[in-house]
Structure 1
């Protein structure tokens, strides 16, 4: 049986404002390749100096990716806010989507509250992706 999980984490960006766009492009480029190879999909955004990422994949693939993320110097204070088993992927079309130029009030509230509500995070990220399309 293949278990599929989804997790959401936030982290504080260490990027200078003027470097954010280039860094996000680099993250998406590398993640698209590596995540596809490891069966991971998801969405990433940067809002108010905070990275928010929804990741989907096997539990072991997510564990390995989270370990690697702790060594990425572009961010700090990684906090996994929620993680649960899911029936299907919510972001299957993206190796990694990054609607970084858009801001979301709902996402801002979730970041401030450090909400453990996976459904709320999923909805906020989906809203950003729809707006970015």
Structure 2
């Protein structure tokens, strides 16, 4: 059975700085997620994370414990956990993007000014993240880190 987990957390600066820490998180996430059949995306605005994860209940529970133990995350908040019929991020062991001005139109479309879309319904959060990753793939100088 396939599940989706969506959470937010605040970033705690590591020894390398926000972008280096983000890249490090993506690199280790991709390795781990690939071997545990987890897919998803990670969105970062240099102060907070929004992540969508897809996988088995056991795989997500185990990963959730790892993430909650990561010192770069505080104020961890699970927004949603649900059974799903299919993966939305199946091509990404972990797609990732850093917020930029290029995302402003997408944020406005969803009525979001400065924060993440954590007050939106699950389907809207998923579509929001898909739109961000799709935009990043098309940009000539992208800040997406495809996985």
User: Could you tell me the TM-score, scaled by structure 2's length?
Assistant: 0.80
Task: Determine helix, strand or coil for the equivalent of 2:96.
Answer: coil
Specify every segment of 5 or more residues in structure 2 that has no aligned partner in the other structure, as ranges.
138-147
CA RMSD of aligned residues (A): 2.2
2:129 equivalent among 110, 125, 131: 125
Bigger share in helix: 1
- Counterparts of 1:15 and 1:88, CA distance in 2: 35
Larger deviation, residues 3-12 vs 94-103: 94-103
Of structures 1 and 2, the one scoring higher in RCO (CA 8 A, sep 6+) is 1
Task: Determine helix, strand or coil for the equivalent of 1:54.
Answer: strand
| Alignment correspondent of 2:96 | 98
Task: Determine helix, strand or coil for the equivalent of 1:39.
Answer: coil
Can you list the C-alpha shifts for 1:72-93, whole angstroms capped at 9, x where unaligned? Answer: 0111011000111111100011
Contact residue 19 and residue 46 of structure 2 kept, 8 A: no
Can you list the C-alpha shifts for 1:40-89, whole angstroms capped at 9, x where unaligned? Answer: 00000112621000000001100110011111011101100011111110
Q: How does 1:7-86 map to 2 (within 5 A)?
A: 7-15=5-13, 19-47=17-45, 49-86=47-84
| Structure-2 change in CA distance of 1:77 and 1:123 (3 Å) | same
Contact residue 6 and residue 57 of structure 1 kept, 8 A: yes
Larger Rg belongs to: 2
- Counterparts of 1:55 and 1:107, CA distance in 2: 23
- Counterparts of 1:78 and 1:27, CA distance in 2: 16
Contact residue 118 and residue 125 of structure 2 kept, 8 A: no
